[in-house]
Chains A and B, each alone.
Chain A
Amino acid sequence: MSDSIFDHDHHFPAVELPSDIPAELLRKAPLNLPNPAELEVLRHYTRLSQKNFSIDTQFYPLGSCTMKYNPRIAHTMASLSGFARLHPDTPAPAMQGLLQVLWELQEWLAAVTGMAAVSLTPAAGAQGELAGVAMIRAYHAARGDHERRKMLIPAAAHGTNPASAQMAGFAVVEIPNLVDGDLDMAFLDQHLGPDVAGIMLTNPSTLGVFERRIADIAARVHGAGGLLYYDGANLNAILGRVQPGQMGFDVMHLNLHKTFATPHGGGGPGAGAVAVQERLRPFLPLPMVTRSEEGALRWLDEGDLPQSIGRLSAHGGNVGVLLRAHAYLRRLGRVGVGRVSAYAALNANYLLKELQRVGYQAAFPERRASHEFILTVSDLQKATGIRALDVAKRLLDFGIHAPTIYFPQLVPECLLIEPTETESKATLDRFVAVMAQIRQEALAQPELLREAPHHLPVGRLDEALAARHLDVAAAQ
């Protein structure tokens, strides 16, 4: 039975409530939250933390998540009292230090992406996508073009892409991928027209390979009057080497919690900064930081950017995350960013070769891996019924977090593996050895996989029961 915080409770006398607030506005039911002692809190949550896998403790090759080391100096800098105590409505002259950091980050992200302007405010990749497609919509509307209601999105795209497009009021048209991973160009040509606002792509694609015909795709979409949106989730593959702005993209988001090493925190916070070519600058979400000729920094507001798509949060975005990304970029510098993609590619291609050597099937064996690659275990499924899920669960027994499984859905029984550049050769070699052993087990002792994980606090959980009973809060 897991230890619950509700098991630690001590009695305290009731608190006297203020008499100047009318009784009918005060709490009726007493507040039923536990009162643990400080040491009980410390032990409870420390022990809980020890049940987690994390980058700090395990190799975490989750494809498309970029689980690289989160440098601790970034956390220390973001937590400095001079930043942490700042109220968001502090007048600009009293927080020039913070504004300087944010302004620099805007400039550096524009440089890295090859774009003209950056807004740091979206709180996550999905909110960045929403901002991006909203800007596309605003651009067409400003030109009097109200017919462009459709957004083209590959079937293999991350689920946030169609969800964001729908939230922005677009109808989604799914473009199929061909079996070799390429986009179906014939379908694209058929559907491009005056009712298409644009296309959402990522490059390298969600299939882990570089879309070589990107210049051609960009020309066709632009030719039909549409714009190109770049999902920056895979930027780690090309950081410091290729700029989305040069590939023909008009607008993009970055995932600072992937490419720029800010912590994943068990599910956030992220930051989804957006970058645009000059023609979309008027529509950027507010606020942004600007610098006068004399060097004074201030926030831009609605008066400065009357055509802005508006504000997506009450304040300036996830500033603490932005501080961390800034520190990371400042550590890397010009040379460091190029090394990120180089070693991300080296680690991915090395693993791809080694895993094939021990018998695994690559989804696209004749292609270079980008910063990630896909394996399929359909062969294991045919042999002994072992599925990608079973391989994933068995990896946990070896103290390695599973890769992404069943995404993209185009490849059956797939594992999407992204080692990142911060993992050593020794870690990768151990991973290969473990995967080799798991493969042997899959063929000779499949029940070891089917009943995995064996060595964790819990085994496979009854998710159907979870959904049927819906116990989502401790009973009172």
Chain B
Amino acid sequence: MPYIPHDGLETAAMLAAVGVDSLDQLFDEIPPNLQVQDMALPEGLSEMALRRELEGRALSNAPLRCFAGGGAYAHHIPAIVWEIAGRGEFYSAYTPYQPEASQGTLQVVYEYQSFITRLTGLEVSNASLYDGASGLAEACLMALRIQGGQGDDKSILVPENLLPGWRRVLDSILGLQQIRLVTVPYDRVAGTLVLPAEAGDAAALIIPQSNALGLLESVDVLTDWAHGHGLLAIAVVNPLALALLKAPGDWGTQGADMAVGEGQPLGIPLTGGGPYFGFLACRKAYVRQLPGRLVAKTVDGQGRAGFCLTLQAREQHIRRGKATSNICTNQGLMVTAATIHMATLGGHGLQRTAVLCHERAVRLRELLTVVPGVRLPYGGPFFHEFVLRLPHAAVAVRDALLGHGLLAGLPLSDWGMGEAGDLLVCATELLDEADLLAYRDALTSVLETL
């Protein structure tokens, strides 16, 4: 029987020690009418048969060259990353509640926290949240706590050009506490945010860099506007892009107050949507409002340096109903992989990768402008994603390009944004010149036949 080591003799000896005649008797406190004999489950498979079945399922998913982004990106992950992250000592360890037995995990998380603070330019980072979108919801709740409480009818200013999938998560999580989300519109020509006319009673302004259209916002202006109106500035950023773009801690005259984002680009495979991780960094003054775990460096009784979880009194296992968040299990293994990934690439490698992604996107955009019928609706600066405006419905073009082995991009109409022909296209370092030419040729061919 899989994974249960007892043989008949051992079982008998243990039953005798307990003083029962059968395994069933161990359940004699449970009313018999609650015990079922059968459930609608298939027979178990041997490992060999399981492998065959699942390898078949995996292969049946069409192999596609990926030109889709929208918050999840196809990047190269060095082989070393999951070799180490998959080691049993990392893979099967628990949350480091007994720090003496968990110095490996604790130091990895401390290094992760350190990397994130350097990328974001903010002083404190937590040990991760579930993903970027739910992380943003947590950042909003944090902003409301800092600014004086949810009961005071405060709101959050949410850009219309934040990824719509993230907006839906904010609606779901923040809606439970009657928090109002006020939409800040974007200019349909420029694709970037219009400064709000007034702040109202908002606690914070969310500033995405880049936005859902791949375009870069005037983050200094937006950050200063927020501060000038007494709002906190919550930066939403791609961690790989931060190797290239201005760190949120340097936005405006005072710097953003919090930075949150999706950590998937840092060594996490796409895997159909998860597990990823959300990172959240903030000014040191706000550390007590930070949700999630936090690792600190300290010493033991003999003066040896070591690491432990800290400020646990904020968390659910102590503060219960008054905790900063209900989060318990977070995304530890993904953080381990991301830390190793950042160490492996190094600062230099991260920058080179970010530059390569951008160069590929610039090149692809250049190649596609000359495809008949294709227009580029936005002319402003962008990072590694851009919008094509096609003469046919983007959904139809995307579907047709599947037949050419391409996941050509994300139709904005799926998000209720832009026009029917708008397709968000992404290029990363995984693509070479031949891939870009193949895309151009396939697109040309599909547009001719549609």
Contacts and interface: CB of A to CB of B under 8 A. Distances in A.
Contacts of A392: 98
A32 B71 contact: no
B10 A84 contact: no
A172 interface: yes
A266 B96 contact: yes
Interface centre among A6, A88, A209 (most CB of B within 10 A): A88
A93 B62 CA distance: 9
Contacts of A44: 343
B166 A314 contact: yes
A124 B330 contact: yes
Interface string A57-95: 100101001011111010111111111111111110111
Contact of A321 (B166, B244, B275): B275
Given A114-B36, A243-B39, A89 B70 contact: yes
Contacts of B74: 85, 87
Contact of A15 (B121, B355, B410): B355
A311 B3 contact: no
Interface string B338-371: 0110111011111110010011001000000000
Contact of A459 (B80, B100, B115): B100
A129 B340 CA distance: 32
Contacts of B128: 268
Interface string B301-342: 110111110110001111111110111111111111001101
Contacts of A85: 63, 66, 74, 269-270
A15 B93 contact: no
Interface residues of A, number: 193
A337 B310 contact: no
Interface in A133-185: 134, 137, 158-160, 162-169, 172
B393 interface: no
A83 B272 contact: yes
Interface stretch (B81-89, B199-207, B227-235, B434-442): B81-89
Interface string A364-377: 00011000000000
A215 B113 CA distance: 48
B119 interface: yes
A263 B299 contact: no
Interface string B108-139: 11110111011101011101101111100000
B409 to A, nearest CB: 9
Contact of B100 (A26, A90, A327, A458): A458
A48 B5 contact: no
B87 A267 contact: no
B61 interface: yes
A439 interface: no
A1 B305 contact: yes
A21 interface: yes
A71 B165 CA distance: 33
Given A17-B355, A35-B347, A246-B34, A125 B92 contact: no
Contacts of A241: 27, 30, 35-36
B131 A462 contact: no
B103 A91 contact: no
Contact of A42 (B6, B84, B165): B84
Contacts of B351: 15, 31
A52 B101 contact: yes
A314 B261 CA distance: 11
Interface string B9-47: 011011101111001101111110011101111111111
A358 B213 CA distance: 67
Contact of A331 (B47, B110, B247): B47
A2 B36 contact: no
15 contacts: A2-B107, A15-B348, A52-B104, A75-B86, A111-B41, A127-B326, A160-B316, A212-B31, A310-B172, A313-B169, A314-B273, A316-B272, A346-B15, A392-B98, A424-B6
Given A315-B276, A462-B300, 5 more contacts: A71-B3, A86-B270, A240-B39, A330-B42, A463-B310
